[in-house]
Amino acid sequence: MKALVLEQKDELSLRDFPAIDHAEQTLGPRDVRIKLHTVGICGSDVHYYTHGRIGPFVVEAPMILGHEASGTVIEVGDEVATLAVGDRVCMEPGIPDPNSRATRLGMYNVDPAVRFWATPPVHGILRPTCVHPEAFTFRLPDTVSFAEAAMVEPLAVGVHAATKARVKPGDVGVVLGAGPIGLVTALSALAAGCARVYVTDIAEPKLEIAAALSPAIVPVRAEGDALVSRVHADTDGWGADVVFEATGSPGAAAGVFAPLAPGGCVVMIGGQPEPISYDAGAAMVREARVENIFRYAHAFPRCVAMLGSGAIDVKPLITRTFGFDESVEAFEIAASAPPSDVKMQIELPQ
């Protein structure tokens, strides 16, 4: 079975990977075997490819990439009760220790023992099949395509961010960054009740995609104080109720309180590899609430439900699809960060 393997930094190959076939020969009683259909290319996959590490996670041995996935159940363990062969599903990539303190406290995403696909030393799922726990595998409504289902993983981040922000109907939101995470966050903030969401980025094509998502999305080019003056002009100088930081850029994060209204909330989403500084004085005079998120916890069922009902449409975010045999080329293109692409996906042969 061929897999997309990150051999080491800057070196990918599509090749057989007998170790994973061997490890997944048998199925646990509460596991399912899944034939992969669509896998999204995530910024983290690309970062491992171009840098060989993310913070403390270092690629020290060949690792299969990919963690945003959908597929079809082809085998079920003896005790599996909620899924059957033939079910179309998406999978949550992080499996916590069910007995850990974090899990028992309801925040399994911060369990230090979580095993997350394509995070060294755990292999990802750019391969024909995988074995996964029933509890982290979610059946899809007929109306949700495999491509949309592979967007549930990034969407879960946006839904978790909007949940942590405690968005109320009629709130004014701001999202810094129009990459995949910024845009799913804007969609989630609208689904949570925002009256409108200002989205800012330096890439004009991404802002065009953002603007086309909803009449309630206001694109603003990230240039000087354009965002702050626009938000202030539209809110009688009051500011936005919620600001989501989805760039991971220290410069953007430094100004995160500037567009925020008194009593508002900032949600830090973008990963910051180094310590950064922000304007604590600006936070203080607003009595700002600051939330941080790390992935998500039990957001997949909500995401699947919203895609199923049409409350959220992620299709416009999928800008390119590659065949599995074009995987290496797909990653090279993703690594060049084309300004007009949001999410690229890879389809496995069926």
Q: Which residues bind Zn ion (CB under 5 A)?
A: 42, 68
DSSP string across 112-128: TT-EETTBTTB----SS
Closer by beta carbon to Zn ion, 175 or else 344: 344
Strand pairing class (129-133; 31-40) = antiparallel
Closer by beta carbon to Zn ion, 158 or else 259: 158
Query: What is the token pair recorded at 234?
Result: 């539209």
What count of Cα atoms within 13 Å lies in the side-chain half-sphere of residue 179?
A: 19
Minimum distance, C-beta of residue 196 to Zn ion, in the bound complex (Å): 27
CB 129 within 8 A of CB 27: no
State the sign of the Cα–Cα–Cα–Cα dihedral 77, 65, 327, 270.
Answer: positive
Minimum distance, C-beta of residue 67 to Zn ion, in the bound complex (Å): 6
Tell me the chain's radius of gyration from C-alpha atoms: 20
Q: How far apart are CA 236 and CA 3, in angstroms?
A: 55
Minimum distance, C-beta of residue 154 to Zn ion, in the bound complex (Å): 5
Closest-by-Cβ residue to Zn ion is 42
Closer by beta carbon to Zn ion, 204 or else 294: 294
Minimum distance, C-beta of residue 138 to Zn ion, in the bound complex (Å): 16
Closer by beta carbon to Zn ion, 76 or else 151: 151
Query: What is the token pair recorded at 222?
Result: 């990230």
Closer by beta carbon to Zn ion, 68 or else 171: 68
Minimum distance, C-beta of residue 89 to Zn ion, in the bound complex (Å): 17
Minimum distance, C-beta of residue 42 to Zn ion, in the bound complex (Å): 3
Closer by beta carbon to Zn ion, 48 or else 108: 48
Q: Give the type of residue at 12.
A: L
Q: How far apart are CA 281 and CA 28, in angstroms?
A: 53
